[in-house]
Amino acid sequence: MPAPEPHSDWLHTDEIEDIAASVRHALRCRDSASTDKHEWKWFALAIHSALQGTLVAHLTTTAIPVGAVSDKCAAAWLLHYNQGGPVPQTKLLAFPDLLKKARKDGQCGGGASYPRLQISEMERKWLTRFHDDIRNQFTHFEPMAWSLELSGMTPLGALAARLIEEAIQANWAFRHAEEETLIELRSNLKRLQNA
């Protein structure tokens, strides 16, 4: 299906463009954080967005959204695809569950011949803590003051960049990406890794 005509009042995007845009935004935030430390908040949210989008794309099968949803949700979608009826509600797996699933052999949406993402147990725990303690606090900001040590932010970006690059190399999540998008994304991932 051809892309809709661009219209100035609409944003047309997809999961790959959103991942690429999130990485671009993370870089902009990182680069301006030396003059405005609040940019680290937006860096963290952009990294989370890019990584979650990558995990979902890596795990999703051709029966969209199967692979990145619970077994119950997947069963409802498969029933819909096979028998019709109302479109089920999609509820993606939580970020920590996406991380766990992406580490397992045979879970890539493309099937057993596609590699799992190389996420160590220490990295999984770190990313889960990042999601639970930092991303959630920034997204669901409670009325309080708090402090965030910034020394882990650039290593967090480097880890996310490595995992996104692994997903690109696995050749499933990004299989339909435009070549120009991939070239730019990979260049930006290198910048994120080499901070």
The predicted pLDDT at position 141 comes to 80
pLDDT at 116 over 70: yes
d(CA 190, CA 1): 32
Q: What's the CA gap between 43 and 26, in Å, rounded?
A: 4
Decide: 28 and 189 in contact? Cβ < 8 Å.
no
Q: Are the CB atoms for 69 and 77 separated by under 8 Å?
A: yes
Q: Is the pLDDT at 106 greater than 80, yes or no?
A: yes
How remote is the C-alpha of 79 from its chain's centroid?
Answer: 27
At 26, is the secondary structure helix, strand, or coil?
A: helix
Assign residue 145 a region: left if phi > 0, alpha if psi is -120 to 50, beta otherwise? beta
Output b/e per residue, 1-34; b: 16+ Cβ within 10 A. Answer: eeeeeeeeeeeeeebbbbbbbbbbbbbebbeebe
Average pLDDT, the chain: 93
Does 2 score more than 90 pLDDT?
Answer: no
In the chain, % of residues over pLDDT 90: 83
Minimum mean pLDDT range among 8-12, 19-23, 85-89, 165-169 = 8-12
Cα distance between residue 30 and residue 41, in whole Å: 10
| pLDDT (0 to 100) of residue 8 | 76
Residue 59 scores a pLDDT above 80: yes
Share above pLDDT 70 across residues of the chain, in percent, rounded to a whole number: 96
Nearest to 182 by CA among 103, 25, 173: 173
Tell me the pLDDT tens digit for each residue of 61-102: 999 999 999 999 999 999 999 999 899 999 999 999 999 999
Tell me the pLDDT tens digit for each residue of 46-56: 999 999 999 99
Averaged pLDDT for residues 165-191: 96
Please check the confidence at residue 44 and state whether its pLDDT lies above 80. yes
Query: Average of pLDDT values for 129-148?
Result: 87
Return the number of other C-beta atoms located less than 10 Å from residue 133's C-beta: 11
